[in-house]
Amino acid sequence: MIIVTGAAGFIGSNLVKGLNDRGIKDIIAVDNLKQSQKFRNLVDCEIADYFDKTAFLEKLPELKEKIAAVFHQGACSDTMESDGRYMMENNYRYSSSLLDYCQKHAVPFIYASSASVYGGGDVFRESRAHESPLNVYGYSKYLFDQVVRRKLTGKNAQIAGFRYFNVYGPRESHKGRMASVAFHFYNQFRANGCVKLFEGSSGYGNGEQRRDFVSVEDVVKVNLHLLDHPELSGIFNVGTGASEPFNNVAVATVNACLSHQGKEKMTLSEMKEKGVIQYIPFPEGLKKQYQSFTEADISALRASGYDEPFLTVEQGVTRYIDHLFRE
C-alpha cells in the first residue's frame, strides 16, 4: 500500500497516475475536496481508498496493511496566503505528525518542500546558509525542513524532501491564479490572441525575470527514483538546473498554439511587434515577496544517482500545450 497526500492536487495526482502506469493501484488517496473540482484529477486514476485530510491522521493507525511508502504532497501552496496560523498548522504541524508516525513504524517518507525557502537569494543549494523565505508559505516549508534535518541522523526509515522549483504541466487547472504561467499564457492566447507578462523589475528587462521551470513529468520521475531507492535520504532540489526567462515560456506557449492552428511560428521580436506579447506593470504587492531569479543546484540530486535528462521549456511546454488541446 502506498499513501499519497494531496492526491487530488497538481503534483499528487500526476504521481498517482505515475504509480498506476507502473501497475500500482493499491493507493490510499488523501486530500481536501472543499475545492470539489479537484476530483477530476483522479477520474482516470486507480486508487484503493480515499480519506479527507482532516480525518486521515486519526484513521492511519487503523490501516491494517503494510504501508510501503508515504508521498506527502499535500499543502497549502498559495504564496499570497496571509493566514499564518492556518499555513503553519496545515504545512508544518500536519507534516510533523505524519513524519513522526512514519518514523515510528519505519515507513519511507517522501515529501514536498519548495524552492521558496531560498527567498530572494541567488544561490539555490540545499544549505541553511542560503535559506531565507520571503513569505509564510516559504517559512512553513523551511521550518519543516529543519525538523527533517534533525531527524536524519537517527532515522528509522527513508526521509526525502524535494524542493520543487516552478512546476508546470497537466492537472493544474484547479489552482486558479496559482497555476503555472504556461497554463495562464495558454488561456490568454486562446481567449484574446495575446499573452501578458510583467514589465521589468529588480534589474531585469520586460519578461526577462528568470525561473527554473520544470515539467511535472520530470517531477514524477524524480519521486519514483527515490521510491526505488529507499536507502537514499536527504533534501534535494528538483529543477532542471537551468533558468529561463518568462519570455521563453510565452514564446513556447504561443508557438505550440499556432502549430495547432496550422499557422507559422514566430520569434519573440515578431510577437512583440505584433502585440502578441504585451507587458503590464509589476504589481506593488508582489515586489517584496517575488523571486526574480531561481536556478536549482541539482548536484545533490545527481549524486543520488538520478541521471535522467530534464525537459527544456520549449520541449516541456510544447508537450503540455499539446495535452491541453487534447482535453
Whole-Å CA distances, 55 to 59, 60, 251: 6, 9, 44
Please count the residues of the chain: 327
**Secondary structure (DSSP) of 42-62:** GTTS--SEEEEHHHHHHHGGG
DSSP 116: G
For the chain, counts of helices (H) and of strands (E): 11, 13
Cell numbers placing 303: 549524486
Closest by CA to 115, choosing from 280, 318, 301, is 301
Catalytic residue, chosen from 118, 137, 139, 168, is 137
Residue type present at position 144: F
Catalytic residue, chosen from 175, 196, 221, 272, is 175
Integer Cα distance of 216 and 239 in angstroms: 10
Integer Cα distance of 99 and 78 in angstroms: 22
**Secondary structure (DSSP) of 140-170:** HHHHHHHHHHHHHTT-SS-EEEEEE-EEE-S
Residue type present at position 285: G
Backbone CA torsion sign across 20, 22, 24, 29: negative
25 is catalytic: no
In contact, 151 and 325? CB cutoff 8 Å: no
175 is catalytic: yes
Integer Cα distance of 191 and 180 in angstroms: 17
Integer Cα distance of 25 and 51 in angstroms: 16
Closest by CA to 186, choosing from 326, 283, 11, is 326
Q: What residues are labeled active site?
A: 137, 175
